[in-house]
Amino acid sequence: MVDIAFIGAGSIVFAKNLMTDILSFEALQDATITLMDIDERRLDRTAAVGEALVEAHDLPAEIRATTDRQEALDGADYVLNMVNIGGEEPFENEVRIPQEHGVKQAVGDTLGPGGVFRALRTMPMMLEMAREMEERCPDAVLLNYTNPMAMLCWAVDEATDVEVVGLCHSVQHTTAALGRYLDVPAAEIEHQVAGINHMAWYLDLTHDDEDLYPALREAADDPEIREQDPVRFDVMEHFGAFITESSHHLSEYLPYFRTDQEIIDAYTPDEDFGHYTTEWMPTGRYFEHWQSYQPALDAEFDPAEADLSLDRSSEYGSHIIHSRETDTTRRMNLNVRNDTGAIANLPDEACVEVPCLVDGTGIHPTTVGDLPGQLAALNRTNINVQEQAVRAGLDHDEDALRRAIKLDPLTAAALDLDAIDAMIDDLLAANAEYLPDLA
């Protein structure tokens, strides 16, 4: 029997998907899943869905629910973190305020002003939880789904002894998109992908031992295909490799695509797999997408009407647990500290996304070697921000916070240094109650 704690389980859609993934494996169907959230009403909904899954398939699994994080961590073998600290208000501020100052982020949860401030409001909880894990479940693995992935994993790695791994679905979703662009079954595409979270590179891309890059470059000349992913295709043409993030997300990690509204409209059209809009607003489609993971509490809710199939998603979390518990070897792209030298020309302390082998002995990053120089250079522009944001969070250093945002590629392309300070002043004032004390 394996004990799995979900922290932030009030996000009912995502938590339900992860429970389904775990219970889809016969070897994990006797698991104890402890759901934890500070919002008891949302927690009760998620627990009801979990219990309905167990009952529908007559499984021996046990679903528990608690608002006490330490209780959830006691004796856990795996801790799945999916928290959102602060809810809607700071999330909106972190995008709206920079937009008012001229920094037009697309999502604002990974880099830039939004990503840095999100890291600062999330890091204290992450570090506190990791220290509780050191006492209550010291051998547990922390599987982190919360963004900004690299900054949070970096901070936990540096400040605690907890084994932390960052999980994302960028590689899986991008490979599916490449399958559509190339008319090749995604499951048959072989790849070597490495870089950092939301900016990892397809270093090799093959099907039946045939290099797919010539066909991908040809596909990029088809207007119907190119308009689905114009930023990624432009980056591929200028820097030589396809990347693991949607055009909307990628556009805000670089200085080229979001400083002029005409360019924004041309490069990030309103249809990016139905998720994002070019102008983020509280009533915009991205915000609605985010809210879809938090159904209204006053709506009628019947867990029996949820999809109770055990169809497994492409998320890596359950695969890691199954591989470790059954000694089944799998290869997955995971976010880990670079102290094994997985990517030789990125900093050792950085959090990198690389192929890892997972089996009963643990999680083992593979050695990629050097990235092509231009790809490593683009990664470093983001790592520079991450490093200063981690220093700000660990040291409570306001100067490091300001340096992080001044080093952000999009912010630096949009504003001068004094204007950046003015924007940061407004963000600090608006989100003060969600942030640690800074000196």
Both structure tokens of 72: 């959830």
433 Cβ neighbours under 8 A, 6+ residues apart: none
- The conformation of residue 398, written as its DSSP 8-state character, comes to H
Q: Are 121 and 427 in contact (CB under 8 A)?
A: no
Q: Please tell me the distance from the alpha carbon of residue 47 to that of residue 62, in angstroms, as a whole number.
A: 10
Give catalytic status of residue 249 as yes or no: no
Residue 330, classed as helix, strand or coil, is: strand
Looking only at the bridges linking them, the beta strands covering 141-144 and 163-166 are parallel
Q: In degrees, to the nearest 5, what angle opens at C-alpha 401 toward C-alphas 395 and 403?
A: 120
Helix (H) or strand (E) holding 80: strand 78-81
Q: Are 137 and 110 in contact (CB under 8 A)?
A: no
Calculate the CA dihedral of residues 348, 351, 357, 361 and round it to 10 degrees: 80
Q: Please tell me the distance from the alpha carbon of residue 199 to that of residue 203, in angstroms, as a whole number.
A: 12
Residue 327: how many other CB atoms lie within 10 Å? 10
Q: In degrees, to the nearest 5, what angle opens at C-alpha 75 toward C-alphas 352 and 141?
A: 10
Q: Which of 169, 173, 207, 275 is catalytic?
A: 169
Q: Are 393 and 123 in contact (CB under 8 A)?
A: yes
Q: Please tell me the distance from the alpha carbon of residue 415 to that of residue 93, in angstroms, as a whole number.
A: 18
Q: Which residues pair with 202 in a beta bridge?
A: 193
Catalytically active residues, by annotation: 169
